[in-house]
A and B are shown apart, each in its own frame.
Chain A
Amino acid sequence: MEKRGIRYRLVDDDDGLTVALEGRLDFAAERQFQELLADLVVSHRRQVRFDLSGLSHVDSVGLGLLYIAHEDLGKANIALALLRPRDTVLRMLELTETTKVFAITR
């Protein structure tokens, strides 16, 4: 069974920060993600990219967290982009029309 929660790695680029998320973005990951987000908000980058390729699942709580990230980073003038979601995660993002709100790169 997969371990609960998320793990992440930060990669510093010239113009922003890429956060490679791994595991499952769900209710068990909520606190951890909120802490990560608080750090990102004060990172003073122009752009933050969530690399979703390591995420096996995003549930409804996880989707809510992505929206909170979009809102909080937006207020701090940080652009948020989602990268490389797996097929099942992309399907969920499409069903909820999250693809219209976020910049998503396959």
Chain B
Amino acid sequence: MRTGGAVKTDSALSPGTPDIGRLIRLPSRTAGWLDSPGADPDLPSVPPPLRPNRDSLSVLLVEDEPGDARLVQLALMGCRKPAFAVTHVSSLTEAIAILAGGAALDVVLLDLSLPDSTGLDTVARMKDAAPRIPIVIMTGMDDQRLAAAALEAGAQDYLVKSDDPERTVGRAIRYAITRMASQIERETLLRRIAQQQRTLMTEIDAARAMQFDLLPRPERIDPRLAELGLEVESFFEPSLGIGGDLWGCLDCGGQRMSFYSFDFTGHGIGAALNVFRLHALISDRWTPDQTPAETLRLLGIALRGLLARGHFATMFLCTIDCGRGEIEWASAGAPAPLMIADGGVRFLDAQGVPLGLSADPHYRNRCEPFPPGAALMIYSDAITDAPKEEGDLFGEAGLIALAQEMIDRTGRSAIADLIDAFQARVRMPLEDDMTALGIRRLAETP
């Protein structure tokens, strides 16, 4: 529909502003990160209110000596702020029954020599019955070793009965409660951290599975590889679960197939997200009749506006034409691939500005014969940048020497053998994402 002239309308979304098309981004209403993603419902979000600064505290006194019990009760009766409400029992069995009845208690004062339990066993049984209630043990003598062992067994503090209870019991109770509170707080925090760690690992596992799903699958490409007489051997290992590398292949139809490998700066989640970006761009911008240089230029321009400063991707892209027996390629700063033919190994001529560094990138197509028996090895810089045991880097020199050694020894250049030998020569684990891809034209095309 065509309309003539300027039409003036009031904008319902932002009244009072002129009619100019624009994007309004509303600010986020959260800190951007859930405090406890996928939280365990059993996990208290804050430590329980176990604090000694209440006006009144409930004390369970477990003491079979009436005289000792009386002394403690008298001492506690004299206390204000907090005041103590004391329940007195004479055996561990009675004490456990009270706890089992669900009584709200703040602290247990526990004699270690009871008719039905003695020594450290008393602490252990009480702990089993009420793991979160602070325990102050009462001993008849000033036995530091027994006291230390009782603290080890789970008590929070101890009292020596011969000491003046009026002076010591209130302090011991408050101290035990504070100590228990920090113990619970620490345990809760540890559980929360462990829970968040598990959640994060699950997320990264899911992201890793998605990244591996981007890789070509044998069941999809094997029929075409069989037609073309190509054997492809690949190794892909992100250093942090997920990473900034990827390789892939693109079917040009007829006798032609394209292969690529790319590598973003950095590694981990940021680099992995960029991998998904570039993978989507390749699906969007690639056509089978484009030359490698044209494709790299389109990808470079598209990525230029998307990446953070100083970030880029190196990429190698080649098309193997099995009908003409040729390989055509262009490179955006990727490590120079190895050409393996006639029993010799050499680096392909590969230069070009990495994707994202130039607003107007230009790439050069190169072409050479790729006869049956020839093989190409494409790899990420994790290989050349890997430190050897002596500290210097494996380098191009290390790689070409290794490849030549393998060919001389086995007559071929299998990626699996190459990686085994490489890993034996460098310091593992690698700190970078690693991709290695071997593409071989089989001597006898079926």
Contacts and interface: CB of A to CB of B under 8 A. Distances in A.
Interface of A: 1-2, 27, 56-57, 59-61, 63-65, 67-68, 71, 88, 91, 94-98, 100-101
B52 interface: no
B396 A97 contact: no
Contact of B392 (A56, A61, A64, A95): A56
B351 A97 contact: yes
Interface of B: 263, 265-266, 309-312, 314, 331, 333-336, 350-354, 357-358, 381, 385, 387, 391-393, 395-396
Contacts of A91: 396
Q: What secondary structure prevails in chain A residues at the interface with B? A: helix
Q: State the 6 A-B residue pairs at the shortest beta-carbon distance, nearest first.
A: A64-B310, A96-B333, A68-B310, A60-B265, A97-B353, A1-B391
Contacts of B309: 64, 67-68, 71
Contacts of B354: 60, 63, 96
Contacts of A65: 310
Contacts, number: 63
A13 B393 CA distance: 34
B310 A95 contact: no
A27 B314 contact: no
Contacts of A71: 309
A2 B358 CA distance: 33
B350 A60 contact: no
A14 B385 CA distance: 38
Contacts of A61: 265-266, 310
Contact of B311 (A1, A64, A97, A100): A64
A5 to B, nearest CB: 14
Contacts of A63: 265, 312, 354
Given A1-B387, A97-B333, A88 B351 contact: no
